[in-house]
Amino acid sequence: MNKINTLKIKDLPVFPDILLNLNRVLHSKSVTIDTVNTIIERDPALTAKILKLANSSYYGLSYMVGTLKKAITVLGFNTIRNLAVTVSVSGIFTANTSRSVDVQKLWHHSIGCAIASKSLLTGKNPLIQEKAFMGGILHDIGKIIILLNFPEDTKKIIEKIRGNKLLTESEAERELLGFDHADLGSFIAEKWHFPKELACSISLHHNPEQFPSFTGKLENREEAELLVYTIYTGNQIAKAMALGTSSDPLVSNINPTAWQKLGITEKDLPSVILKIKENFKEVIDSWNM
Amino acid sequence: MKIISIEEITEDMVIAQDIYSSSSQRLVAKGTVVSDSLKKSLLRYNITRVPVEEARKKRVFSKEEVEKAEEAIKEEVLRRFRGFPSDSMNILLFNEILRIEAREKLDSE
């Protein structure tokens, strides 16, 4: 992480003040619908986009919500924050073009990881399901920042991994930059005031087995570990099902510990996979991102 | 293609044209298979009549057709997995993806 600080990354994507405020108030236990409504409504374009996403078939509401306040009431603070972040992060991804990385497909891969991660936790606490969705949306944000700051190195990284199927993107990034996109993404998540366990799951999304040696301060280590294994598995499944395209698209055998931590058995897996496929199609068709 | 009332659509039907809301937002893409959540979503937007494909109801394929489709895409899925997986859960994941994508291929033909 020190290397990231010393490199003085110049171009950090602008994370709207509205979302920083939202992240701050959602840390508080006394947050109200009116507070969240007032913060988001300052941006009419963002409000309109949130309503469009909230009314998509992915959320399966039995009636159409016409106001933000109603959407917050029906879907909850964390889903609304997720939608606001999804809209903003979509802008960060799609505002960048590159010859070495297909940014649109990488963004769809992030959506795929978010959907897969949330689906893996079906039946669990809705709050952790929403954190898993957010983790999927943000897990590769470090790649975009590397692309913005080091376009020539990005080209070399992609050439290296295409030339050597055994080399991962993280390994190539470390060789060239001294850190990888997971380190950088975690650093950004903290800077943008996301919960610590989310930053941890971004940091370990390729190496969940390293969780026991994670020294950062976490409120609930058990929940953080579940989130780490969820984002890791969601990422691998998104690659395996070709939901979008990662710049490092090959799948590693999913660590058997992940299925145990998630409580997913051979009996459950087929329906989970089918649900992910259907949800991804629904979202891509109706969100137009 | 035929246009039918939303009450008549069933989960074995395929949408024949993109469907848009009154504010020009695309709600459903052509080729989508009708699901319960899709039906609910259309009702929320007050869509009462829906274009569906007459001939392309959810089809039943023979074992040979499925195996042929799986064979055609197997190489691509193997490439993603860096070869055939080594443990039971990963093998199951591989086979499920192969099955879903083969079905998708057959549906689109």
Is the pLDDT reported for residue B24 higher than 80?
A: no
Asked whether B48 and B21 are in contact (CB, 8 A), the reply is no
Stretch A24-38: mean pLDDT, rounded?
Answer: 90
Q: Compute the radius of gyration of chain A from its Cα atoms.
A: 18
- Dihedral of CA atoms A82, A84, A86, A87 in degrees, nearest 10, equals 170
pLDDT digits (tens, 9 = 90+) for A180-208: 999 999 999 998 999 999 999 999 999 99
Cα dihedral value A177, A179, A181, A186, nearest 10 = -140
Q: With contacts defined as CB-CB under 8 Å, which chain B residues touch A45? A: none
Distance from CA of B7 to the nearest CA of A (A): 15
Alpha-carbon gap, residue A269 to A70, rounded angstroms: 35
**Among B44, B81, B93, beta carbon nearest to A273:** B93
Nearest to B81 among A165, A251, A256 (CB): A251
Closest chain A CA to residue B30: A285
Give the residue with greater pLDDT, B98 vs B3. Answer: B98
Judge if pTM exceeds 0.90.
no
Whether the complex's predicted ipTM is more than 0.85 is answered with yes
**Token code pair at residue B60:** 């039943």
The fraction of chain A above a pLDDT of 70, given in percent, is 96
* Token pair recorded at residue A161: 């991994």
Q: How many CB pairs under 8 A join A and B?
A: 84
Question: Cβ contacts (< 8 Å) between B91 and chain A: which residues?
Answer: none
Q: Strands B19-20 and B26-28, how do they pair? A: antiparallel
Q: What is the identity of the amino acid at B24? A: S
Query: Chain B partners of A52 at a C-beta cutoff of 8 Å?
Result: 25
pLDDT by residue (tens digit) across A66-98?
899 999 999 999 999 999 999 999 998 888 777
Mean per-residue pLDDT over chain B, rounded: 86
Record the tokens describing residue B107, joined without a space. Answer: 């549906």
Cβ of B94 under 8 Å from any chain A Cβ? Answer: yes
B93 touches chain A (CB under 8 A): yes
pLDDT at B29 over 90: no
Query: Cα–Cα distance between A281 and A111 in angstroms, integer?
Result: 11
A277/B29 touch (CB, cutoff 8 Å), yes or no: no
Tens-digit pLDDT profile for residues B13-22: 888 888 888 7
Element (H, E) at A91: helix A77-94
Higher pLDDT, A68 or B44: A68
Residues in chain A: 289
